[in-house]
Amino acid sequence: MPGITEIKVLRLPFFLFLITITVSCQKKEANNFVKIHSLPNAVHEISGIVTLDNTLYAINDSGNNNTLFSISKEGKIAGKIKIKGTKNVDWEDLAYDKENNIYIGDFGNNNNKRKNLKIYKVSGILSDHISVSKIEFALEDQEKFPPKKKNFNFDIEAFIHLNGSLYLFTKDRSSKFTGTVKLYKLPALAGKHSAQLVGSYDTCNDSDDCFITGATINQSSDKIVLLTYNKLFVLSNFTEDNLFNGNIEKIKLNHYSQKEGVCFKNDSTLFITDEKMKHKKATLYEYKFD
């Protein structure tokens, strides 16, 4: 039976080769996402982060005060800035522009009934002369507050600044979850505005893993990352306003937690944060792209 013996010899190394490749890929993927530091209780409900001039800034979400925190490389609180003239109704994300302004998204809307959506533009963070202006807005396609539960897709927890505009990404809370993310465009100017619906994208149909909870854009403005509890959606080669019209890569982190903060450390590395859960502290992670 020489033929059978030969087949067995050939299959065994190939099978071992597949095992080696699988283990290697799993190890490589795990190494891409690493814990940096546990974070102090002052930011136990950290909901948004951004880097500005190599400093990491963070906010907490609803139920907390109107403080912008700076965090050291060791994961400690390096500074606190009270954002005067503001209230933390539900601060959900941070964005930045190339003029060193930070934008605070006060647009959390779990029950889809808020009419006072706003974004605070904070200027002068890198100086001693901080000023704040207010961008108020409504979503152009929301007519009822709240709408029917099957149409609960007006909660926003993620946004970016690009080319003088703000782009907002919704978190689908509909009773029949589809993972649809709606994309709105808004002028980055003080005043009252209507946010224009410019696109949508279906992430996946797992309601435990497909909520968009944070967004960031790199310094080159050619890569956008959307965050969920266990995934990254990386957008590139986009044109005009519909940022979903280019390439979209899905990356599974193999680490499930309440992740809500994401920003670029540099073009090849992300900072990611999650909130405190039971006995586990809020944590700062890094993810390195291949």
pLDDT tens digits, 75-99: 999 999 999 999 999 999 999 999 9
The DSSP result for 212-270, as a single string, is --EEEE-TTSSEEEEE-SSEEEEEES--SS-TTSSEEEEEE-S--S-EEEEEEEETTEE
CB within 8 Å of 207: residues ≥ 6 apart: 177, 179
Residue 192: predicted pLDDT: 98
More confident residue, 230 or 21: 230
Q: List, for residues 27-70, the tens digit of each pLDDT value.
A: 334 469 999 999 999 999 999 999 999 999 999 999 999 999 99
State pTM to two decimals: 0.89
Examine the pLDDT at 134 and tell me if it is beyond 50.
Answer: yes
CA-closest candidate to residue 262, choices 245, 244, 286, 240: 286
Nearest to 245 by CA among 253, 254, 236: 236
Amino acid at 269: T
The CA distance from 150 to 172, in Å, is: 10
Q: Is the N-terminal amide bond of 146 cis, ω within 30° of 0?
A: yes
As a whole number, mean pLDDT of residues 221-250 equals: 97
pLDDT exceeds cutoff 70 at 20: no
Sign for the CA dihedral angle at 245, 264, 268, 289 comes to negative
pLDDT in tens, 169-206: 999 999 999 999 999 999 999 999 999 999 999 999 88
What are 63's two structure tokens?
């139920």
Distances in Å between the Cα of 81 and the Cα atoms of 128, 182, 235, 282 are 11, 32, 32, 20
Q: Which residue type sits at 271?
A: F
Distance (Å, whole) CA 125 – CA 141: 34
DSSP output for 86-154: ---S-EEEEEE-TTS-EEEEE---TTS----EEEEEEE-TTSS--EEEEEEEEETT--SSS--GGG---
Structure-token pair, residue 145: 């507050």
Q: How far apart are the C-alpha atoms of 198 and 184, rounded to whole Å?
A: 6
